[in-house]
Amino acid sequence: MSLDKVKKICRDIDAKKIAPIYLLMGEEPFYIDVVSKYIEDHVLTDAEKGFNQMILYGRDVTVEDIISNCKRYPLGAEKQVIIVKEAQDLSRMLDDLVEYAEKPQPSTVLVLCHKHKSYDKRKKLPKVIEKTGVVMDTKKLAETQVAEWIRSVLASRGFTITPKASQMLVEFLGNDLGKVNNELEKLQLILKPGEQITDKIVEDNIGISKDFNNFELQKALGNRDVKKAFAIVQYFSQNPKNNPVVMTLGILYSYFSKILLYHASPNKAEAAKAMGVPHFYMKEYDIAAGNFSMKNASAAIDVIRTIDNKSKGVGAVNISNEDLYKELILGILGR
C-alpha cells in the first residue's frame, strides 16, 4: 500500500498536481525519504531553489517559525518548498499547525516528515490535512514480505533476482528498506540491464557467504545435519561483525515458529499462507516438520530463548559467541 501511495504522489507531482501540504508519517522511514526527496528535486527548477526551497529540522524550529516561513511569498517562482525533517521532534506542538493547515498558503508546499511512528490520527491535524493536502502513513514490512518487495523493486528497474539471492539479502539486512535499497543500488551499478542477480553475485559484492549464512543454518538444522550446522556457526564465530548472535537467534526463532504453524495447519496450502512462506520453499519445511515434531520445535524455541538470555548476560558471565553457538546447536539437535 505504501509503495502505491508513493507512486501516486510522484505521478501527481509530475502532472503538476501539487498539494500545499504533505504529512509523511509512519514506521517506515524509507518511503518518507523517497517522497520528500522527490518533492525536493522536482517541484522547483534548480534556478528557483536558491531563494525558494528551505530545509528545516524539528529539533531546531518552532511551529511559529514554520508558519512564518510558509506565509512568505516565493521570489521569482510560482511556489516555494519548505521541508520539515524529523517533525516527530515537534509532535507535542504540531497540532498548533491546524489553523494554517485549514487554509494553507497556495504558493507554499509544506512537507512534514514525521518518522518512526504515525502521528496520532485521533488528533485534528491529520484529519485537516486529509482535506487540504496529502497524508501518507507508512508501515514496516514484515520480513516475510521483504523478498517480494525486492523482486518488485528490481522488476521496476529492469532486473530479476533468484529466490535464494533475495532470501540472503533479507536475512543479512532484515526489513530495513533503506539498507536493502542501498545494497540493490550498489548491485545495479555492476550489472548489465536485464541481468539476473544470483546468490554468487550477492556473495561476491555484498559480503554475504552463500554457504555460511542463516538461510543455510536453518536448512541444516531442519535436515538435522549436525556437521554442516557446526561448520556454519564456526564461521559465524570467526566473523561476528557480519553474523551477530542476536540476528541468528531471531531468524531461528521465526523458523521454528513456522514449523509449529506447519504442524497446526490443516493442509500445505493453509500452512504456506499462515507461515507467510512462498510455495517454492515449502519442500524445505516438509522435511523440517518431518524431523521436528511440535514438541521438538517447541523445545528448540526454548533453547533459543535460553541462549538469547545468556547472550545478554542472564545466567552466564563472559560466555563466548563460539560457546553460545555450540550450546545452541547441541540443544536443538540433541533432542
Report pLDDT digits (tens) over 40-80.
Answer: 999 999 999 999 999 999 999 999 999 999 999 999 999 99
pLDDT, residue 43, reads: 96
What are 223's three cell numbers?
Answer: 535436515
pLDDT, residue 335, reads: 57
SS3 call for 211: coil
Strand partners, 197: 161
Q: Is 214 exposed, middle or buried (0-12, 13-18, 19+ CB in 10 A)?
A: buried
SS3 call for 76: coil
For residues 331, 261, 169, 241, the Cα torsion angle rounded to the nearest 10 degrees is -30
pLDDT digits (tens, 9 = 90+) for 229-241: 999 999 999 888 8
Q: How far is CA 86 from CA 35, 115, 116, 298, 300, in A?
A: 14, 6, 9, 42, 42
pLDDT, residue 19, reads: 96
SS3 call for 235: helix
pLDDT, residue 333, reads: 92
pLDDT, residue 266, reads: 87
What are 218's three cell numbers?
Answer: 536453518
The answer to whether the CB of 75 falls within 8 A of the CB of 49 is no
Domain architecture of the chain: domains with CATH? 2-138 (3.40.50.300), 143-206 (1.10.8.60), 214-333 (1.20.272.10)
Q: How many CB atoms lie within 10 A of CB 163?
A: 13
pLDDT, residue 126, reads: 93
The helix (H) or strand (E) run that includes residue 236 is: helix 226-238
Name the phi and psi angles at 157, rounded to 5.
-105, 5
Q: Cite the beta strand spans of 33-127 per DSSP E.
A: 53-57, 80-85, 108-115
Nearest Cα residue to 301 out of 254, 232, 237: 254
Sites in the chain below the pLDDT cut of 50:
none
SS3 call for 244: coil
pLDDT, residue 141, reads: 86
The answer to whether the CB of 28 falls within 8 A of the CB of 140 is yes
